[in-house]
Amino acid sequence: MSPSEYTKDRRNCMGQQRRRALITGAAGQDGSYLTELLLNKGYQVSAMVRLGTSQNLENLRPAMEGPYSPNLSLLQGDMMSSESLLKVVRTALPDEVYNLAAISYMPYSWQCPTLTMDVNGAGVTRLLEAVRSVNPSARFYQASSSEMFGHSGADGQDETTTFRPVHPYGAAKLAGHWAAVNFREQYRMHISCGILFNHESPRRSRLFLTRKVTRYAACVSLHLAREKLVLWTLDPVRDWGFSGDYVRAMWLMLQQDRPGDYCIGSGKGHTVGDFVRMAFEFIGAENWREHITLNPPENFVVDKRANFVCKSTTARDVLGFVPEYDLNSLVKMMVENDILDIHNTLRTARMAMR
């Protein structure tokens, strides 16, 4: 049965009632794209953001100001509080839950490993228990990560590859992943895990390597770069895709009759150097190596085993999922967005000085 037929069957089962979705981590890169996708499909969306913070909601602005904004509700919640999550689930009463809340910046996990485990690991269990107590028939998506593979030593990874994380972020994500699998098996809940490989967008935080590169390339194109871009290495291989593509795979997982785990990626590996080269080629700077300097931390060694390339056969065959954007299109999109953003920032600054 095709994904469209699954969707039709689910709508018939639910009649004309608008489906309700709860998205945690909704203000992040993936959460904001998923919010827009579900609103466009006619969902009533409850978007959970961090409790007690002045979190930047810029990523959610298109959804909050779009034509379907009446179907969007913002809820505050805390992944470290069972009481908070229970209140959120009771308020949203979701048919589908998408857990995207996480501490997602890997280097930060070394600074705060306990907090990372509490949010990315135990937090998943808290949310699963809240959903089970309110509506165990709700379908649940868990955002797992290719970083769980770590030093698996595999030449490409799929759903059968051994997990061997090498940092607190990967270990915490694996804890959350196994919590989801355990609840699925123990309670027969419809829980699917998306093991997503690297995915980026113009909404990616500037803390991340890819956004640092595209932002710097934009500065070079506008003659605003004063210093070279400092990187650790150009060697690691990653499988990059567009976040706006990958949220479609999340949705497709919850439209299946049976839950499961799916590796989501492009199936193509590129080095960090490839990513940098593409960004500079887009702005016409073929001498890109002149703009960067390599300055790895002391005792830094590139581990050739930590190369991630997705074997996405299951997602293609079962979900019918094929990414629309290749890496070159993604890099172009990100650089163009950064050029426009810098233009707008400069214009705003000039107007403020008048």
Over the range 187-221, which residues count as b (16 or more CB within 10 Å of their CB) and which as e? eebbbbbbbbbbbbbbbbeeebbbbbbbbbbbbbb
Q: How far is CA 153 from CA 1, 165, 181, 262, in A?
A: 35, 11, 23, 20
Amino acid present at 211: R
> What single letter denotes the amino acid at residue 225?
A
The CA–CA distances, whole Å, from 196 to 2, 123, 140, 159, 242 equal 22, 19, 16, 11, 11
Residues 259 and 198 sit within 8 Å (Cβ to Cβ): no
Our answer to whether residue 281 is catalytic in this structure is no
Asked if residues 157 and 149 have their Cβ atoms less than 8 Å apart, the reply is yes
Determine whether 145 is an active site residue.
yes
Q: For residues 159 and 200, what is the distance between their CA atoms, to the nearest angstrom?
A: 22
Active-site entry in 46, 84, 109, 145:
145
Run of H or E residues at 230? strand 229-231
275/233 Cα distance (integer angstroms)? 12
* Catalytic site includes residue 36: no
Residues 6+ apart with CB under 8 A from 182: none
The identity of residue 176, as a single letter, is G
Catalytic-labelled residue, pool 36, 96, 147, 200: 147
Q: How far apart are CA 209 and CA 202, in angstroms?
A: 13
**Token pair of 123 as six digits:** 């937090």
Instruction: Spot the catalytic one: 33, 43, 169, 262.
Output: 169
Residues serving a catalytic function are 145, 147, 169
